[in-house]
Structure 1
Amino acid sequence: MTDAEIIKKINSALAEEFELDLDCMVPEAIFKDDLDLDSLDAVDMVIVLEQEFGIKIKKDESFKAIRSLGDLHKFILNKKDEAV
């Protein structure tokens, strides 16, 4: 799976889970300010992403630093690279 395909999968999964418009799913989007997602939504986000990609996120401290969709893209892409 290419990086672009992974990013598209992330965006689609989150848009579906949180009923967001795909047009809003840009790397600069801040979860709290732009997408209106809070810390409770972050828990759901972890579950969705773990299921979509078959990875473990909960115990990764770097996940707590994610503030934007672009940060999330980089995080998941790095996880993919670690798995290789």
Structure 2
Amino acid sequence: MAMTHDEIFARVSAVLQDSFEIEADRIRPDARLYEDLDIDSIDAVDLLVKLKPMLDKPLKPEQFKSVRTIQDVVQALALLIDSDSAATA
């Protein structure tokens, strides 16, 4: 199931608002997870757990070790979702 970057961003934004109580106006593509949103390493793992339902395969934390911003998360998820779609096509 392919998703646009906007759809992925909306899902990530909803998780950040609902699970981490981050105000919507702070959630921008260039927002840095650690510095701007106070997402620590434990929160980052929790975020990945909450985003996993978007994928049809196991999520490996190392696939996200280089993410720094919301846009990085969106791009990493888009790559995984696209690879899922290609594998099932």
Q: Give the TM-score, by structure 2 length.
A: 0.82
Asked if 1 retains the 8 angstrom alpha-carbon contact of 2:16 and 2:22, the reply is yes
Measured in 1, the distance between the counterparts of 2:61 and 2:33 equals 19
Listed one character per residue, the Cα deviations across residues 39-65 of structure 1 (whole Å, up to 9, x for unaligned) are: 0101101110113x13422x2523111
Task: List structure 1 runs of 4+ shifted beyond 3 angstroms.
Answer: none
Q: Which amino acid in structure 2 is aligned with residue 81 of structure 1? A: D
What is the deviation of 1:5?
1.6
Question: Which residue of the other structure, out of 14, 24, 38, is the alignment partner of 2:16?
Answer: 14
Q: Which amino acid in structure 2 is aligned with residue 67 of structure 1? A: R
- Runs (5+) with no aligned partner, structure 2: none
Bigger Rg, which one: 2
Confirm whether residue 76 of structure 1 aligns to residue 77 of structure 2: yes
Listed one character per residue, the Cα deviations across residues 12-53 of structure 1 (whole Å, up to 9, x for unaligned) are: 1122110001111101111111001100101101110113x1
What is the deviation of 1:3?
2.8
- Runs (5+) with no aligned partner, structure 1: none
Distance change >3 Å, CA 43–CA 25, structure 1 → 2:
same
Q: Give the TM-score, by structure 1 length.
A: 0.86
RMSD: 1.4
Question: Which residue of the other structure, out of 19, 29, 32, is the alignment partner of 1:30?
Answer: 32
Q: Percent identity?
A: 33
Give the paired residue count: 82
